[in-house]
Structure 1
Amino acid sequence: MITKQLAEEIVEQTMIRLNRNLNVMDTNGIILASGETERIEKIHEGAAQVAKTGETLSIAEDDLTEWQGVKPGVNMPIYFQGKLVGVIGITGNPEELKEISTLVQLTTEMMVHQSLITSHIEWNRKRNELIFEELTSGKPLSAAVHERISQMGLDGKISYTTLLIELKKTPSPSQRIVEQVEGHFHSQTVVAGHSQLNEIFLLAANEKPAELEEKLYTLLHFLQKTAPGRIGVGVAVNSIFDVRTSYLAARNALEFGKPDQQLIYFEDVELMALLKRNPQDDLAKFTGRVLTGLNEPLCQTLTQYFACNKNHAETAAQLMIHRHTLSYRLKKIKDITGLDPSEFQDAVVLHLALTIRK
């Protein structure tokens, strides 16, 4: 059904080009919009007849007595996807309107199609965002979402992976980015939309790890050209009702991944996420106890040492110091903390303390 707002837009845009009065009527023959504003919301019996028969009706001067609320002109049905949604009428001598009437009908149907398709897409997007919001809220799902999940066939035993795409800035138009992101996953996309202003979510189904990674790198390459950002990848779950677990994992990936890291899997930050769930006071006590006495240069040395997998030559090269200087610093760290960076167990404690401190 054509809305009043759409009818007004059709009349305004078409009359500018046509220089003739137009009326747009609903399927009951009520005039929704017209260049002659006094006729709005009145019955147009000719339009009602067109809506009933689905056929164009021309009304000449001699025919006015047969119809109520009409003027000479041509009234044509408007279809959308094979269904009659309204009537468009052009005021004037039907003989003079023969050449332009079909063009006006075609143009109107194109405008209706564009508007209704856009509205349908927007409605679907909002519905998807509502479904995702409920799935990840941790609260019981509404009956409407349960029904929609069943209609979409998502309650079967297949795997789902949540992707959170954090954009550096809001792209314009942002909705186009969502559509392009969906396009990278084709039929594997379950739902997609905005979870936050600068963040897009996508729930993908049945993606194999290797294929998923390939698509993600392709997507990152695309984003660098349009809306630079990074992607947090959640764990795969085997039920749509466990999507919250995948979502929280993707959220942790973004939260605990390095700022300059573009693709972050939850597995990369899982240990840090587990540790960060402890009270901050306890974490501060741990890092304070382990690292007390170490100045910033020694902490930087230790960080680089672990980044180089405890390789002395590589660490010294990265720090641009002599290997003897590195050995001296590592010994000093051992003397201060009582922990030997070269020993596995001690290195784990030092590494965790440095990581949590950041």
Structure 2
Amino acid sequence: MYIRDIAQKIVNLMMEVIDNRNINIMDCEGFILASGEPNRIATYHKGADDVIKSGKAIEIFPEDIGQFPGAKQGVNLPINIEGKIIGVVGVFGHPDEVRMVARLVKNSVELALEQYLISEQVNLVKDLKNQLIRKLIFNPIIESEEEILCLSKVAHVDLKIKRCAVVIKLDNFTNEEIYESMNAMGQIEKNLYEKNLITKNDFFGVINHYFIIFKAIDDSKRICYRNSIQYIFEDQQCYHVKIGFGNSYKDLYGYKKSFNEAVELISISKKEPLDIKDFETQSKYLLHKIQTDVSEPLIKELYALILDENNKVPEWFYKTLEALFEHNLNLNETAGHLFVHKNTLVYRVKKIEQITGLSINNFYHGVLLYCLYAFINKHNSGG
């Protein structure tokens, strides 16, 4: 929003308070920026020009109007922000009648403009940090290092601090629902600040459906921090999110590494946040990493064995594998999760082994079965 629009809003609001007595706000050249009399906007006001030049209030009495082209009777006062005159506010009326009102209006205008300027500064810093994050995670560091260091200095970000990427992905918005997703991002930011989950050594930005925090945190505090973030989103179930935590790094190249790790964890997570420092998560991450062009031809052969007459994976097959891996191959827990008798589960496991030729109790076969499960998951989600 431009300063002229802000000034006009202030004029409209203030005029309601002082019985619609006209108010003008003038710029540093003495031209009317906003007014209760629209036809006077962008016209010269000699009284305001004199205030700018002298730094003092100018009162215009009815008999003095001829000395002040473009002005009417009233009181004109300098608008001071941080010790500098940035404009003039004028209130129409006989000076003896409006002197006190004009002072109150001046104070209100200064306060409103101060708040606006603070808000603009905050938005500017946010934009700079967003640019910084984009360059750190998308641009080749070797080509952008000078620009990144310049941006970090202007945005007051010390890139030498050891940080990890915490990536929060909104899952319940499409690419078209940009306005709603930005509102959700704003609410996420507010919640994180209220719970002190973003501190002065952290910096964050929003890119597409990702809310990215580069977090300065000791490894010993990661579990507590992870639980706190999880609690926020469990408490507010309207946001469906996936959360990934990358490793902590101390150099410029580490920001991209940590971000990529966090995003990769999001791609394999279900509900709970996944942290690369967690042993179980590390195993999932490593298994996910081996699903490359090298392993795919082998997995495709297994995949072809399990397709039914409609060329689809039977639901029982996929659900059984999913539950088995979620419960660390514990048959009792898996049967309970699937709401089936243990004997039914044993029958299904034997059928899986018969179709694939892989034994669930053989570690190496188990790795292949997990890769098969991940391949099915990727295939079904269109990845």
TM-score category, normalised to shorter length: 0.7 to 0.9
CA distance in 2, matches of 1:95, 1:316: 88
Counterpart secondary structure, 1:231: strand
Q: Percent identity?
A: 25
Residues 147-176 of structure 1: per-residue CA shift (max 9 Å, x gap): 1224535242x2121122123353746434
Does residue 273 of the first structure (1) align with residue 288 of the second (2)?
yes
Alignment match, 1:223: 233
1:101 alignment partner in structure 2: 102
> Which of 157, 164, 167 in structure 2 is aligned with 1:164?
167
What's the CA shift for 1:304?
3.9
Residue in 2 aligned with 1:341? Answer: 360
Match of 1:236, SS state, is strand
Distance 1:357 1:351 in 2: 10
Matches within 5 A, 1:319-358: 319=338, 327=346, 329-358=348-377
Q: Is the 8 A contact 1:178 1:193 kept in 2?
A: no
Distance in 2 of aligned mates of 1:344 and 1:173: 43
Match in the other structure for 1:149: 152
1:178 is matched by which residue type in structure 2? E
| Structure 1 residues 130 and 4: CA distance shift in structure 2, 3 A | same
- 8 Å contact 1:231–1:262 — kept in the other structure? yes
Q: Secondary structure at the match of 2:249?
A: coil
State the 1:25 CA deviation: 0.7
Q: Kindly indicate whether the alpha-carbon contact (under 8 Å) linking 1:131 and 1:145 is maintained by their aligned counterparts in 2.
A: yes
**Change in 2 beyond 3 A, CA 1:314/1:279:** same
Out of 178, 191, 203, the residue aligned to residue 180 of structure 1 is 191
Q: 1:336 to 1:166 in 2, by over 3 A?
A: closer
Q: Is 2:266 the counterpart of 1:251?
A: no
Inter-CA distance 211–82: structure 2 relative to 1 (3 Å threshold): farther
Q: What is residue 136 of structure 1 aligned with on the other side?
A: 137
State the match for 2:178 in structure 1.
none
Deviates more, 1:261-270 or 1:242-251: 261-270
8 A contact 1:220–1:230 mirrored in 2: no
Q: Distance in 1 between matches of 2:350 and 2:234?
A: 44
Counterparts of 2:169 and 2:87, CA distance in 1: 43
The whole-number CA distance in structure 1 between the counterparts of 2:319 and 2:187 is: 43
Give the CA deviation at 1:350: 2.2
Give the superposition deviation at 1:209. 2.5
Which is worse superposed, 211-220 or 89-98?
A: 211-220
In structure 1, list runs of 5 or more residues that go unmatched.
none
Contact 2:135 2:144 in 1 (8 A): yes
> Which runs of 5 or more residues in structure 2 are unaligned?
174-180, 378-383
- The number of residues matched between the two structures is 352
* 1:178 Cα offset (Å): 2.1
Instruction: Please tell me the root mean square deviation across aligned C-alpha atoms, in Å.
Output: 3.1
Helix, strand or coil: the match of 2:261?
Answer: helix
TM-score by structure 1 length?
Answer: 0.84
- Residues 146 and 110 (structure 1), Cα distance of their counterparts in 2 relative to 1, 3 Å cut: same
Normalised TM-score (structure 2): 0.79
Q: What does residue 13 of structure 1 align with? A: 13
Counterparts of 1:312 and 1:35, CA distance in 2: 77
2:206 paired with 1:203:
no
Distance 1:213 1:55, change over 3 A: farther
The residue aligned with 1:232 is 244
User: SS of the residue aligned with 2:144?
Assistant: coil
Q: Relative to structure 1, is the Cα distance of residues 280 and 87 closer, same or farther in structure 2, using a 3 angstrom cutoff?
A: farther
Inter-CA distance 217–189: structure 2 relative to 1 (3 Å threshold)? farther
Partners in 1 of 2:197 and 2:317 — Cα distance?
Answer: 46
Does the 8 Å CA contact 2:288/2:374 hold for their aligned counterparts? no
